[in-house]
Structure 1
């Protein structure tokens, strides 16, 4: 059986800050249709890797490719247009716009309307069909006319995923998508992530190990900026170094 296509890849990724090495010799392959988790203790370098992959930081050494094209020195905006998108730990939506308006605004860039904020909101009506498709995909159809500020925390994160998907990314990077959620919201957002990963590569930083175990095809563990181990969850969780460094020696 042929392995899924590699969408986003890095080799020998390194980042130094004033003599401190935050990330060292990191290799990753994100494959189409798979969910890849990156876990590790606080300060392990997970966010730095995210920032390097999305070009918010330039690597000291190493190479990054997206769909086979070298993006190591490419700007964040160009990388986003090429199909790499990320979400952040803090929900980034417009609280006083409705769910539908939020998604329509996000759709402006891929539809060539990114610099037309001076136009009335009605000018975006032609984006409604795609916006409603995305809203339904993340389970917010019933809330499409509600202000984003009125949504629960979990549903705000679902809206953020919808606005990120508006860019039609080939690789989607999610930074702690389940952070601060109750059990019900975790189940809803997990289902969304599983669904959207069917047609793209997903990399997520996540501290909820039950989510990682249930959702992810592959797990990479970082410690002090380096890869400790990478594999499926069962393999990773049995590794004594992981149990000691991250899961805890007494973890079952």
Structure 2
């Protein structure tokens, strides 16, 4: 492990993993990983394809069961919890594949998330009109992500970048203390990348964000701390300048990007 991998102070940690391992048969997708995410930071998880980044996200949010290791959120051991229990503790993730409802309006998409946050998602006997009381909060969230002008549009008609902004609005509706973004810039044109980067910087104020991202320019501009994975193991950790200067990182990842 590189000298850049020194961990931040545990006192600042909101999310930690210790000895986190996920084996699929004889293959270790994540191998004895220690990870510390500090409160109020934007933290990037980077590495070449197959490094285990998305598997780590699945382990942290309980979509995968770890083979071994321990995960804590705000000091609570969440290793054995189910995904819905993690969301109730206000750790929310996005996915690489769009998770919006395309045939609902932009406003209705956010309102669905608000129903869960307000405990209304199982109260099927209530008339649809009763959900109108959520509209003000939904419109405020759309304003945060720059979609107030599209509230009544069908979600399917949004541009790709604005669909990503809508996904972020639906996650914010769950009032996350920790927000996990899985490749939020994937497949975007340059203008959309800049828009979503500005949005992440905005919504990250006062929150903790952990993001998997391949665009190193975005990582450099946005992130307080960077963790580099290679073959499921921690290769290095630090600020971007430290990571960029690390010889092992350049050999495994950034050097390959530079050609």
- TM-score, length-normalised on structure 2? 0.93
Q: 2:3 matched to which residue of 1?
A: none
Q: Displacement, 1:121?
A: 3.4
Q: 1:202 matched to which residue of 2?
A: 209
Q: 1:33 matched to which residue of 2?
A: 40
Q: Distance in 2 between matches of 1:123 and 1:19?
A: 53
1:1-252 alignment to 2 at 5 Å?
A: 5-117=12-124, 119-248=126-255, 251=258
The gaps in structure 2 that reach 5 residues or longer are 1-8
Q: Distance in 2 between matches of 1:88 and 1:82?
A: 19
The range that moved more, 182-191 or 155-164, is: 182-191
Q: Distance in 2 between matches of 1:98 and 1:117?
A: 20
Q: Distance in 1 between matches of 2:145 and 2:257?
A: 37
Q: Distance in 2 between matches of 1:119 and 1:189?
A: 36
Tell me, yes or no, if the aligned pair for 2:10 and 2:36 is still in contact at 8 Å: no
Q: Displacement, 1:5?
A: 3.4
Map Cα deviations across residues 76-115 of structure 1 (whole Å, 9 max, x no partner): 1111101110000011111111111110011111101111
SS at match of 1:112: coil
Tell me, yes or no, if the aligned pair for 2:17 and 2:33 is still in contact at 8 Å: yes
Q: Distance in 1 between matches of 2:167 and 2:181?
A: 10
Tell me, yes or no, if the aligned pair for 1:13 and 1:23 is still in contact at 8 Å: yes
The range that moved more, 115-124 or 149-158, is: 115-124
Q: Displacement, 1:32?
A: 2.1
Map Cα deviations across residues 119-167 of structure 1 (whole Å, 9 max, x no partner): 5432211111211111000000111111101100000000000001111
Change (3 A) 1:118 1:97: farther
Q: Distance in 2 between matches of 1:217 and 1:3?
A: 16
Q: Displacement, 1:196?
A: 1.3
Q: Distance in 1 between matches of 2:20 and 2:33?
A: 5
RMSD value, Cα: 1.7
Q: Displacement, 1:221?
A: 0.5
The gaps in structure 1 that reach 5 residues or longer are none
Tell me, yes or no, if the aligned pair for 1:106 and 1:163 is still in contact at 8 Å: yes
Map Cα deviations across residues 166-218 of structure 1 (whole Å, 9 max, x no partner): 11111111000000111111111111111111121110000111100111111
